[in-house]
Amino acid sequence: MIIAIIIVFIIGYLFITLEHSINLNKTATALLTGVVCWSLYAISSTDNHLVVEELSHHLAGIAEIAFFLLGAMTIVELIDAHQGFGVITERIHTKDTRLLLWIISILTFFLSAVLDNLTTAIVMVSLLRKIIRDDEMRRFFAGIVIIAANAGGAWSPLGDVTTTMLWIGGQISAVNIMKMLFIPSLISLTVPLIYLSFKLKGSIQLPKTSKKSSIEEVSAFERNTMFVVGLGMLLFVPVFKTVTHLPPYMGILLALGVVWATSEFLHSKKDEEDRKPFTAGHALSKIDTSSILFFMGILLAIGVLEVTHTLSDLAGWMNDTIGNLDAIVFIIGIASAVIDNVPLVAASMGMYDLATYPQDHRIWEFLAYCAGTGGSMLIIGSAAGVAVMGMEQISFFWYLKRISLLALLGYVAGAVVFLVM
C-alpha cells in the first residue's frame, strides 16, 4: 500500500506542475492528493484509532500554518487598504530595473530574518504591486523575492521554520547560527543578483494611480498609523513567540486583533458605507484563500509520507549509501525543493543524535542553510514560494524556466562558501 501512496503522490505532484496544460486548478489536485493518500493509508492500516491520532497530529500543524497565513494576509490587506505601503514606495524613486532589484532583494533579505520568510514574501509581493505595472516583470521580481526571503530566513533562528526547529531542539544556538550562516546566505542571494545585473536592462513602469474614493478618504495620519501598527505587530510576532513560547500563529492572531481594532478605531466616526473598504471583513474577502487550501493539501500529502516512514527510510538509505555527511545534507537541500523541508529536517534530527553531534556541530549549521535555501529551486519547495505562487498566479514551469537556475546557482555558491569557511 505504501507503493500505491507514493504513486498517488507522484501523480498528484505531476498534475500540479502541469496545471495550465491540463486545465485543472492546483488547489483541487493538492486536496485530492492529500485526501486520497490518507484514505489509502487508513484502508491499509489495522489500527484506525492510530491513523486518526496521526491525522489529528498533522492537521494541528497544518492548521497552525493556515491560521498564520490567514492572519498575515489579512494584516497586509488592511495596510494596503489604507495605502500604507505608500510610506515605502514613495521613498523608492529609481526606475532602473537593476537597481530596483537590488533594493527589493536586500530589503527582503534582512526583513525575512526579523519577521520570517513567509510573512516577508507576502509583504514584499504586496509592495511590488505598488511599484511595477508590467505583470511579467512583477512575477520575475516576485521570483527573486522568494530567493531573497528564503536566504534571509536561513541565517536567523526566527526566519525559517526549519531553523526554528533546530534552535528549539537544541541543535543550534541563535548567535552561532547567525555568525556561521550570514555570509553563505548572503552569497546565495548576491550570486543571482550579480548575474542578473549583466542581463537586465531598461526601466520599470509604475502602476497607474487609481482614483478610488476610498483612497481619497484616507488621511496621512490614518495611512501612517496603519503602516506603523501593522508592520510593528508583524515584527512583534517573533518577540511574542520568544517570550511566551507559544506557536507563531498565536502571535499573528494577536497582531491581527490589534490591527483590526486600530482600523475600527480610526474609522469609528464614519458611516457604515464609508467604513466598509477599511474593515477586516472586507480585507478577508480579498485574500487568496485558494492558496491556503493548496498549502493544506500539499502538507496533508507529505504528512502521509512521514507517518509511513517513507521520508525517514529515504534519509536512512542516503546515510548508508552515500556516507559523507556534507553530501547527504547538500542532497537534502535539493530534495527540499520537491518535498517539504520540515519533515526532511525532522527526519534528519531523528537520524543524528545530539550525543554524537552536539549543539552547533557543522552538520546542524549546514542543514539549516541547505533546508532553508534549497526550497527556492522550485516554487512549491517553500512556504514563501507557495504563498507567492497563489498571490501572483505563477505557474510551476514559468518559475522553473526563469528562476530555478538562478536559485540553484546561489544555493551551490553559498554551500561552497560554507564548506570552505
Residue 19 lies in a domain: no
pTM here?
0.74
Cell triple for residue 148?
531573497
Residue 387 lies in a domain: yes
pLDDT at position 387: 84
Residue 15 lies in a domain: no
CA 301/CA 159 separation, integer angstroms = 25
Residue 3 lies in a domain: no
CA 379/CA 390 separation, integer angstroms = 10
The DSSP string of 330-349 is HHHHHHTTTS-HHHHHHHHH
pLDDT at position 417: 96
pLDDT at position 281: 83
CA-wise closest residue to 252 among 70, 77, 407: 70
pLDDT at position 214: 45
Angle subtended by helix axes 341-351 and 289-307, to nearest 10: 30
CA 115/CA 252 separation, integer angstroms = 11
pLDDT at position 88: 79
DSSP H helical ranges for 82-96: 86-89
For the segment 72-127, what is each residue's pLDDT rounded down to a tens digit?
A: 888 888 988 888 877 877 788 788 899 999 999 999 999 888 777 888 898 899 88
> Which residues of the chain fall below pLDDT 50?
211-216
CA 181/CA 177 separation, integer angstroms = 6
Residue 125 lies in a domain: yes
Mean pLDDT of the chain: 85
How many distinct structural domains can be found in the chain?
1
Residue 5 lies in a domain: no
pLDDT at position 215: 46
DSSP 202: S
Range of the domain at 177: 53-420
Residue 176 lies in a domain: yes
For the segment 340-366, what is each residue's pLDDT rounded down to a tens digit?
A: 676 677 667 767 778 888 888 999 999
Mention every residue, 6+ apart, whose C-beta is less than 8 A from residue 231.
79, 84, 123
Residue 31 lies in a domain: no
